[in-house]
Amino acid sequence: MDSSPKPSLLERLSALLSREPEDRDELLALLHSAFDRNLIDADALTIIEGALQMSDMQVRDVMVPRAQMDCVHLDDPIDTIANFAIDTAHSRFPAIGDGKDDVVGILLAKDLLRYFAGREFDLRDMLRPAVFVPESKRLNVLLREFRVSRNHMAIVVDEYGGVAGLVTIEDVLEQIVGDIEDEYDFDEVGDNIRLDHSGRYRVKATTEIEDFNEAFATHFSDEEYDTVGGLVIRHFGRLPKRGEAVELEGLKIQVLRADSRRVYTLIVERLPQPLSEQA
């Protein structure tokens, strides 16, 4: 009986890659071969492919465009800012003065707790310094800078120095590992539809059409798409961006979270019925 230890995963992969690949395509072919031979699993293959792809991507490919930036205004009352933070459910906000080109700093939502705890609070003193990066910066370089500086958000500027959008460390990491759930995402896998404090519903894009129809008394067909995310994408004819909305069967369906590859979360609210239908 052979008592020699079995080679480790790293040793098996190293043996497979013993001949140095000449280019990226050959490397990917070797990695897919490793997957086919069960040397690496699907998750590992996806992460490696995402990491390789990220080095070819620029900040402009994943940033939240200027028009869709959720900013807080320095002149607004703190209660207004707090309600805005709750409604948008972000943990960080660009704080602006005269407009979106005047980013003064970054407000962390958790810093608002000082105000509601009755502690001394000055909004400008609470702001963290804003980091500015060009649209053309490579994602792998930005990720390295995020790690070194421990910043989680950067303001993206165009070639003329104007604000073009923003990018977070989550936007970058999701290009490697896919969707990252944070403290504002759903806590349970089965909890796909949730009513929020404003009377609107947060719906996972992966919610099946049958479940969506049952929850909202709609009659969408599931013959061409299985999920509500597929329904929205089919309607737009493309991958919609964050903030875009569509009205279907008396519902307003707005994209809350999306990146360059998929839609994650939707906001659904019932539209007011015309008076003729209410009678």
pLDDT in tens, 13-26: 555 555 555 666 77
Task: Please indicate whether residue 32 or residue 164 has the higher confidence score (pLDDT).
Answer: 164
Position 188 pLDDT exceeds 50: no
Predicted confidence at residue 107, as pLDDT, reads: 93
Full set of structural domains in the chain with CATH: 21-55 (no CATH), 58-175 (3.10.580.10), 191-268 (3.30.465.10)
Per-residue pLDDT band for 178 (boundaries 50, 70, 90) equals: low
Predicted confidence at residue 32, as pLDDT, reads: 75
Identify the CA nearest to 243 among candidates 259, 232, 257.
257
Q: What does the alpha-carbon distance between residue 34 and residue 24 come to, in Å, rounded to a whole number? A: 15
Q: Kindly compute the dihedral angle of the four CA atoms of residues 187, 193, 196, 202, in this order, to the nearest 10 degrees.
A: 90
pLDDT in tens, 127-158: 999 999 999 998 888 988 998 888 889 999 98
Q: What is the pTM of this model?
A: 0.57
Q: Kindly compute the dihedral angle of the four CA atoms of residues 217, 221, 222, 227, in this order, to the nearest 10 degrees.
A: -60
pLDDT in tens, 245-255: 899 999 999 88
